[in-house]
Structure 1
Amino acid sequence: MKATAKPGKAVSQTFRLDDLMQMAREEGRIVAEDAARRLGVTVQTIRRDLLTLSERGKLTRVHGGAVLPSGTANIGYDDRRALYAAEKAAIAEACAAAIPENAAIFMNIGTTMEAVAARLLGHKNLVVVTNNINVANILVANPGCEIVVAGGQLRRADGGLVGPLANRIVEQFKFDLAVIGCSAIDGDGDLLDFDMMEVGVSQTAIRRARKTVLVADHSKFARTAPARIASLADIATFFTDQPLAAPLAERCREWGTDVVVSGGRQVAASG
């Protein structure tokens, strides 16, 4: 989101509130001084706007700005699909290039996973097990792909299938590779999500896979979620779009987690 005001011309409050919400969705938080500069208004004006949005339940005020009240609820799926589309495409391209043909893989829920699926249409002799209806619909166009949909409780918001039935189906397989996404990554390297039933399916897939890879863009580091899926220590390769902070990059090196940044390798696993 690159909203900026023309010199000497402030944005009206209605447009400012929309712009501030877009900033929050894309970047995870709003820094009042930065938002004031970008929108051509005073910091005091932005603080009043953030108070308005907080009173409406749209944002949560924090020191220096505000964040989405997303500790227990995710951003809408259509909004997520529109965010960082180019970055997700680069991540998906790198991930798909690393997926061999003649393999059995698991793919979970998420908009980045849809991007990966679109780049597997030329792969041959794949068996893909997924709890993501959107991924299954994309892969239908690949005649060289056998698709197994893990039946379960349908989450209408994003086409996800979750719950005990999905778990039981996933448990019947041994995957060469589990490709997973997440909603947030904290500073300790824990992978987080919002739905406990979705987390359960992803954890089952990780246990049933010889190797697990993660696809997630940089915005996941600015967000939080309540349920833990796994750690980056459990991941063989992490495909992302920006370099990790130095402390986490060092931990990935110690864990042997390979980090691939938009096709360029940042951290090579030891050994």
Structure 2
Amino acid sequence: MIVIQRRNKIKELLLQERSVKVADLVKEFQVSEETIRRDLNQLEKEGIIQKNYGGAILTEDLQHVISAILPVQQRKFQYYEEKDAIGREAASLVGEGQIVVLDSGSTTWCVARHLKEVSNLVVVTNGMNVAEECSQNEEASIFLLGGKLVKKSMSLVGPQAVDELNKYSAHYTFLGTSGITLGKGFTSSDLYEAEVKRAMVKAGSKIVVVADHSKFERQALVSFAGFKEVDIVITSDLADEGVLRAIRSFGVQVIVCPVRQTLKEKPDSKDGPER
């Protein structure tokens, strides 16, 4: 694991747990205690943590801020560079005057970020954060589906959303996913969100799943699409190539965004070899 990836993982642990211990991080990442202490020194310089005996905690300011941030907004900052590259690539598929269905989620939010220059765009979405982002395109027409609000993801779900989706016919549907496995295909951690995703699959001519590398070989609660129902998967070169080859064998086009070199950071010469 390269340095920047390890430090991002430590940040994620801090977001979840509010504190970390050096001994636990050494065991988790299989590196030396000296390496972990250098990581924590860097995070302290960035104003993210306050070191204490045996570990570190989030700064008080960050703890107050994070307590007020919704989970979907927190997810924007996890693997952000990777998700942004995936979003840019996905948005490049969309042409002037086309209709797109955009799922809720952090990666689809990144797709929305890069649709701002598309003329006469029509967007149908169940994601409040996605609709807000698309509203910055002054030429876009935005249709927000109705339904019950899931506060954790700021998405609208339920029979009303499904019924409304049955009325649309889009050029592209862009979907996020909680997990991708060769046995179950694309899965969601929420039953009701999965129902909306299935309706989105039916509404689109081209079905595109956008997923960062952490979603592969991970299975969530319920499947919403198989490989035969999806046309394109867009991910990054951090994803396992063997898994991507297997997905291609189902007839799915896999687009890989190059981010590894961008994220790569030369290891500290004192670290010794990374494991």
* Partners of 2:22 and 2:33 within 8 A in 1: no
Residue 3 to residue 252, structure 1, CA distance change in 2 (3 Å): closer
> Which residue of 2 is the match for residue 183 of structure 1?
178
Distance in 2, Cα, partners of 1:93 & 1:227: 28
TM-score of the superposition, structure 1-length normalised? 0.70
Distance in 2, Cα, partners of 1:159 & 1:209: 22
Residues 11-37 of structure 1 show CA distances to partners (whole Å, capped at 9, x for unaligned) of: xxx9534996xx8xxxxxxxx755342
> Which residue of 1 is the match for residue 103 of structure 2?
108
Equivalences for 1:34-183 in 2 at 5 Å?
A: 34-39=28-33, 76-183=71-178
Shift of 1:258: 0.9
Q: Which runs of 5+ in 2 are unaligned?
A: 9-17, 36-69, 260-275
**Mean Cα deviation higher: 222-231 or 162-171:** 222-231
Shift of 1:189: 6.1
TM-score of the superposition, structure 2-length normalised? 0.69
* Partners of 1:183 and 1:224 within 8 A in 2: yes
Aligned sequence identity (%): 26
Distance in 2, Cα, partners of 1:239 & 1:207: 19
Shift of 1:187: 3.6
> Which residue of 1 is the match for residue 20 of structure 2?
16
Give the residue type in structure 2 aligned to 1:249. L
Distance in 2, Cα, partners of 1:83 & 1:130: 22
The aligned length equals 213
> Which residue of 2 is the match for residue 262 of structure 1?
257
* Partners of 1:151 and 1:166 within 8 A in 2: yes
For the residue of structure 1 that corresponds to 2:163, the secondary structure is helix
Residue 155 to residue 250, structure 1, CA distance change in 2 (3 Å): same
Give the residue type in structure 1 aligned to 2:141. E
Residues 218-268 of structure 1 show CA distances to partners (whole Å, capped at 9, x for unaligned) of: 01125331111112332211110126545533333332211111169xxxx
Residue 19 to residue 127, structure 1, CA distance change in 2 (3 Å): farther
Distance in 2, Cα, partners of 1:125 & 1:19: 55
Q: Is 2:209 the partner of 1:214?
A: yes
For the residue of structure 2 that corresponds to 1:210, the secondary structure is strand
For the residue of structure 2 that corresponds to 1:16, the secondary structure is strand
Distance in 2, Cα, partners of 1:102 & 1:175: 11
For the residue of structure 2 that corresponds to 1:82, the secondary structure is coil
Distance in 2, Cα, partners of 1:171 & 1:19: 53
Shift of 1:169: 0.7
RMSD: 2.8
* Partners of 2:6 and 2:29 within 8 A in 1: no
Distance in 2, Cα, partners of 1:109 & 1:221: 19
